[in-house]
Structure 1
Amino acid sequence: MNSMRSRSIALLSSFAAVTTVAAVAIGAFVASGAMFISSHDLSALAVILVASATIGIAFALVLGQRVSEARRSLAETTRRIGKGDFSPSNRLPAPAEFALLADELEDMSARLKHAQERERALEASRRELVAWVSHDLRTPLAGIRVMAEALEDEIIEDAETVARYHAGIRAEVDRLSDLVDDLFELSRINAGALRLELEPVSLGDLVSDAVSAASSIANHKGVRLNGELEGRSPELELSAPEISRVLRNLLENAIRHTPHDGVVRVETGVDRAHAFVRVADECGGIPERDIDRVFEAAFRSEAARTPVHGGAGLGLAIARGIVEAHEGEISVRNHNGGCAFTMRLPMRS
């Protein structure tokens, strides 16, 4: 029996059929001898047993062949998945148990393919982020170095220019500090280490404060800010500092990409079980090929929304991470010659 364990299923099925027929034949001949059956009847019984054995062995061979084909197909699928090929395989008809196993393998292959594609996308995004951050670090550092060397070598002496250089160094240091803060915040979000201290907060008050804080930036660029509250201000359980950061990022992003004498509209209200804030600008719209990527870290479109200066493209990625940590969602769409970013937060009893 030990030597039969490594044999093919077809051979094992045939062996089982022969063994069964042989056992029946032996039993029949012993019983016929005990019952004194005539030789003619015994010959007829032998013919019947031989025919039954032939049919049984043929059926066992066919069944074993089908099982062997199903086994080879599963083995080929497993080898293909092991080599990183997640394309659908050519399925052969198989018994129910093997078909169920094949379905599970195909589902696993699809999940692995999705995970591989996601990993590649994350790796591409990481490389893009490193490239943009390296660029945005190099630029202010180069400016600081030039101004510091000019001050050190006493190339400039008049007090006004010296003061301007000192202010420039301070501005570049603040820019670097903001970049480091953004990187730290994004790393906490990606690591799942963002801790929210939830408290009852009026969303309308947060929006009003954010609009007031952004008004100086808008006035400097010549952009008008219009705020509108639909109905009563919703009160939500949220982290006020984090949501304020989201609003600040959305408003600064809208003001940056809205041309002079343009308008940025901010709407706040309740839509069924969610409170929403919508920030609409006049940026000219986002190309359709880019609209699904605007919330990726370090993504910068080559078209209308490419900033002239500032930022490593982390603001919208941080905004999405914070909103999703509140079990909300944030989206963007082209609307009336611009973009409308909508943040939706769940209403809780």
Structure 2
Amino acid sequence: MKALRIRQWMVIGMLIILILPRLFYEIPGLFDRYVGESHKHSRQETALDTLMREVGKEDIARWRDPNWQSALGNMIATSHVGIILLDASDHEIYHSVPAGSESTVYRELSVMEQGQLRGKAHFYVPMQTSHLATAFAIIAGLCAILFIGWQMGRVVVKPLEAMSAAARRIAGGDLDFHLPESTVLEVADVRAAFHAMGKGLRDSLIRQSELEEERRFFISSIAHDLRSPLFVLRGFLNRLERGLASHPEKASRYAAICSKKAEQLEHLVSDLFSYSQLASLEQLLRHEPLNIDTLLTDMVTEYLQVAKERDIDLVYNASATEHVLHGDAHMLRRAIGNLIDNALRYTHSKGIIVIRLHVEDTRVLFTIEDSGPGIPEHALPHIFEAFYRGDDSRNPEYGGTGLGLTIAQRILRAHKGDLTAQNHSQTGGAIFTGWITLEISLEANCPIGSSCLH
């Protein structure tokens, strides 16, 4: 049923209360008129005709005769017809009318003698309504009131009581509630708002629980990753402090280990700081025009020495066209640097890392492909999750901090791009594919970096 406003429901209820009793009040009369009318009407007409012939005789002196009046009364009693006899001055001579018939004169007869009015006779028939009609009307009125009360209780009172109970349950932390439907528009709107509020609170609690779980995992991961290098660093520093490194060569080796662990700690703290800023990354970005080809060329140049030390070939392939886009050069350098670090970490000696740059109609796309062992199939869906590492032992010597890929993906998404990972179908190495959406130049009405730039 279509929902109506409460004012419309009130109007409908008032009309029912006003019309229904009147309708039931008329039913007995209608029944009597159309079902028993023919037989009753013929009897009354016959009785009236007989009575009028008896009364209409010219000798009206007998109207005052008690015997005649007694005989007339017997005729009236059997026919259920009423009569009032009046003289010429409208003084009542005889009166015999059934109760409830006085309001309507059915027929009227004037008796004349020698051209002068000598008397008048008023004939009545019983009214069609009766006490039964009144009883029907009262019952109908009560039924109408009970129906309206039941209906209002069902569509207004019951939902409001349920909302009150739901509000108390929400205050107690119980968000599992269901409110009955209502055809009153205002109540239906409040019901929908209650359900939306409950869903929002449930989602908020779920999100809060997830954030709390992530926070606990975040703290435990930090503790784990910081403890290992600190333990090693402290151990070798204690050895140096106690003079256990008697030979300069051993002391130099201890110092190199301490330096490496300090570098790991710096790398970890840097990753943690970057990760803490990812929630508001869009607000931190400083967009400016930059040449992505120049950016990649500079980064490859920086990593060539590291790759040479590990006996790894680092190759960069790109088209000759310059590709200019708007972005944060520092953040993009960090994202791509994390990907190159990851490739260098997993590529063995004599391996190769190939970086490619390609421009499509609406985006700049780059790939970083290595010849390492690839990503385990069970790890592919999880490698962009914070603190996830394919190395279950979480050894920082090999597995990193578990934040580099997460940071890289979020930086690219903040530039309206994305980052995906897959394994090479033939060599088995990992392929990371990233892209950045090209903005539309309003002056040239074409993608930034395309040949239509002036």
TM-score bracket, normalised by the shorter chain, equals 0.7 to 0.9
Residues 1:105 and 1:145: Cα distance change in structure 2 (over 3 Å): same
SS across alignment from 2:368? strand
2:148 aligned with 1:57: no
Once the two structures are superposed, what CA deviation does each residue of 1:263-292 show, in whole Å capped at 9, x if it has no partner? 43322222332212222344433444x444
2-side partners of 1:284 and 1:132: how far apart? Answer: 25
Please show how residues 281-292 of structure 1 align to structure 2 within 5 Å.
Answer: 281=370, 282-288=372-378, 290-292=379-381
Partner of 2:434: 343
The alpha-carbon distance between structure 1 residues 226 and 86, as it changes in their structure 2 partners (threshold 3 A), is farther
In 2: Cα distance, 1:214 partner to 1:305 partner: 25
| Distance across 1 between alignment mates of 2:166 and 2:430 | 47
The within-5 A match list for 1:26-41 is 41=129
Q: Secondary structure at the match of 2:277?
A: helix
Q: In the TM superposition, what is the alpha-carbon distance from 1:236 to its structure 2 partner? A: 0.9
Within the alignment, does 1:196 sit opposite 2:285 as a pair?
A: yes
Q: Report the 3-state secondary structure (helix = DSSP H, G, I; strand = E; otherwise coil) of the residue aligned with 1:321.
A: helix
Cα shift at 1:215: 3.1
Aligned-residue offset at 1:244: 0.7
Alpha-carbon distance in 2 for matches of 1:307, 1:147: 18
- In structure 1, the gaps of 5 or more residues are 1-8, 29-35
Counterparts of residues 66-77 of structure 1 (less than 5 Å): 66-67=154-155, 68-75=157-164, 77=166
Superposed displacement of residue 248, structure 1? 0.5
**Which of the residues 350, 360, 365 maps onto 1:271?**
360
In structure 2, the CA distance between the partners of 1:75 and 1:39, relative to structure 1 (3 Å rule), is: same
Cα deviations by residue, 1:143-183 (Å, 9 ceiling, x for unpaired): 22222222222222322222222233222222222222222
Q: State yes or no: 1:147 paired with 2:242.
A: no
Q: How does 1:224-303 map to 2 (within 5 A)?
A: 224-229=313-318, 232-281=321-370, 282-288=372-378, 290-302=379-391
- Supply the distance in 1 between the matched residues of 2:283 and 2:406 (Cα, whole angstroms): 14
Higher relative contact order, chain-length normalized (CA < 8 Å, sep 6+): 1
Structure with max Cα Rg: 2
Partner of 1:170: 259
| Cα shift at 1:209 | 2.1
* Contact 1:267–1:279 (Cα < 8 Å) also in 2: yes
The residue that corresponds to 1:124 in the other structure is 213
1:328 is aligned to 417
1:245 CA drift (Å): 0.8
Q: Is the 8 A contact 1:280 1:340 kept in 2?
A: yes
Residue of structure 2 equivalent to 1:213: 302
Q: Distance in 1 between matches of 2:325 and 2:291?
A: 6
1:93–1:153 CA distance, 2 compared to 1 (3 A):
closer
TM-score by length of structure 1 reads 0.76
For 2:317 and 2:327, locate their aligned partners in 1 and report how far apart those are by CA, in whole Å: 21
Alignment correspondent of 2:275: 186
Once residues 137 and 197 of structure 1 are traced to their aligned partners in structure 2, the CA distance between those partners, rounded to angstroms, is 31
Q: In 2 relative to 1, CA 71–262 (structure 1 residues): closer, same or farther, beyond 3 Å?
A: farther
**C-alpha distance in structure 1 between counterparts of 2:211 and 2:151, whole Å:** 48
Aligned to 2:182: 94
SS of 2:389's partner is coil
- Shifted more, 210-219 versus 139-148: the winner is 210-219
Cα-to-partner distance string for 1:187-243 (whole Å, 9 max, x where unaligned) = 233355963332211111212222232333334444443433257342111121211
CA-CA distance at 1:110 after TM superposition = 3.4
Asked if structure 1 preserves the Cα contact closer than 8 Å seen for 2:316 and 2:356, the reply is: yes
Cα distance change of structure 1 residues 212 and 123 upon mapping to structure 2, 3 Å threshold:
farther
User: Matched residue of 1:276: which SS?
Assistant: strand
Structure 2: 5+ residue stretches without partners: 1-5, 26-102, 105-125, 442-454
From the superposition, tell whether residues 166 and 305 of structure 1 become closer, same or farther in structure 2 (CA, over 3 Å): closer
Amino acid at match of 2:431: A
Local SS of the residue matching 1:279:
strand
The structure with the largest helix share of the pair is 1
Q: Is the 8 A contact 2:17 2:144 kept in 1?
A: no
Compare 169-178 and 184-193 and name the one that shifted more.
Answer: 184-193
Say if 1:21 and 1:52, in contact at 8 Å, map to a contact too: no
Amino acid aligned to 2:344: I
Q: Distance in 2 between matches of 1:283 and 1:305?
A: 18
SS of residue in 2 equivalent to 1:275: strand
Percent identity between matched residues is 26
Query: 1: distance between equivalents of 2:407 and 2:401?
Result: 11
What is the alpha-carbon distance in structure 2 between the residues aligned to residue 175 and residue 106 of structure 1? 51
Cα distance 1:76–1:250, how it changes in 2: closer, same or farther (>3 A)? farther
Q: Matched residues in 1 for 2:349 and 2:233: separation?
A: 30
Aligned length: 329
Structure 1: distance between partners of 2:175 and 2:180? 18
For 1:83 and 1:265, how far apart are their aligned partners in 2?
59
